[in-house]
Chains A and B, each alone.
Chain A
Amino acid sequence: MSLRSWFEWVNEFPSSVAIRESIYGYPYLLTFHAVSMALFAGLIVMMDLRLLGIAYRRTALSQVQKQLFPWQMFTMGLASVSGFVLLYGQPTRYYGKVFFWLKMALMVAAGVNALVFHLTTYRTVAAWDSSQRVPLGARLAGALSLVLWAGVVVFGRITAYNWMTFE
């Protein structure tokens, strides 16, 4: 089965049709998704600013990381669940949107960036945790994360418009 036929298959589920046809379903779901995404992205930005060494410099990087992480995961959970329901309600609409696929690709890239950082530069965090000089690897990871998540927010927002769609 091709990817498209999976989307078309789900599109016919009665529960998918019900979400699609409810009058207030879409505006409220989309609002929940956008606001939880903004909260999540805000916490990511604060972490990235610490990685770049331009904010919260008095606090050890590992502390900022450890204590923001559960809230980042919580808000990401809210955004993911609502995002999944939005997709479930209109699979064939989103399938045809260039911005939607770009957003998905950027999210994967942001995840890979975070993983690579944790498996490489972050292993030596004890050596530079409280230092004013953040190593290049960490600054790079912070800058990349900032750009990639900003891209996710931008493409997510313009997915709501009907530009750049295909059949």
Chain B
Amino acid sequence: MLLPFFQWLESLRFGVAVDESGYFVAAVNVAHLLSLTVFLGAVLMVDLRLLGRGIREQPLAQVALDAQPWLIGGFLAMLATGLLQLLATPMKAYYSDQFWLKMYLVLFALAFTLTVRRKVTQADETRLGPVWGKVVGLISIAVWVMIAVQGRLIGMLQ
């Protein structure tokens, strides 16, 4: 269904125009990875706290608030570098199972983070049972790790 769109991206020949040497895609890759480290750091600060580890001295909502700018900043940087990567090599993405799996996981992770995880991190901890925080923290870590795994595999499995 989306094939014409990807073919149109390919027809822009953005990748070829800016990147005869291959250095551009490499630089975008590196920037995407650096953004990921910041993002994952912010995710882990809150998820570890949800699991009852990490900085326990602070209320959960406080940790989430402190981590938020790095979470959002890291995500936006990943989005920008990811879109550049997609513009440079659209057909490689289109024919990669890992790419599509990653996109579905990102949609799920975003929805989960903006609804359930957000709700739980802002909830009154004393009223939040001991189990829910742990479940949410584990799901969040697992999904973002799977996204990172698929992302790395796009470059290697054809």
Interface stretch among B4-12, B87-95, B117-125, B149-157? B149-157
CB within 8 A of A38: which of B48, B53, B148? B148
With known contacts A35-B152, A38-B148, A153–B33 Cβ distance under 8 A: yes
Interface size on A, residues (CB 8 A): 32
Identify whether the interface residues of B are mostly helix, strand, loop, or mixed: helix
Q: A35-B152, A42-B38 are in contact. Are A71 and B44 (CB under 8 A)?
A: yes
**Does A109 sit at the interface, judged by CB under 8 A?**
no
Q: A43-B44, A46-B45, A153-B34 are known contacts. Are A59 and B58 too (CB-CB below 8 A)? A: yes
Distance (whole angstroms) from the CB of A63 to the closest CB of chain B? 5
| A25 vs chain B, min Cβ distance (A) | 11
Inter-chain residue pair count (beta carbon < 8 A):
94
Q: When A38-B36, A56-B66, A157-B33 are in contact, do A43 and B41 touch as well, CB less than 8 Å?
A: yes
Shortest Cβ distance from residue B131 to the other chain A in the assembled complex, whole angstroms: 21
Q: Which residues of B contact A41 (CB under 8 A)?
A: 37, 41
**Is B53 in contact with A64, judged by CB distance below 8 angstroms?**
no
Top 3 nearest A-B pairs (CB, nearest first) are A42-B41, A42-B40, A27-B156
- A contact residues vs B (CB 8 Å cutoff): 26-27, 30-31, 34-35, 38-39, 41-46, 49, 55-60, 63-64, 67-68, 71, 150, 153-154, 157-158, 161
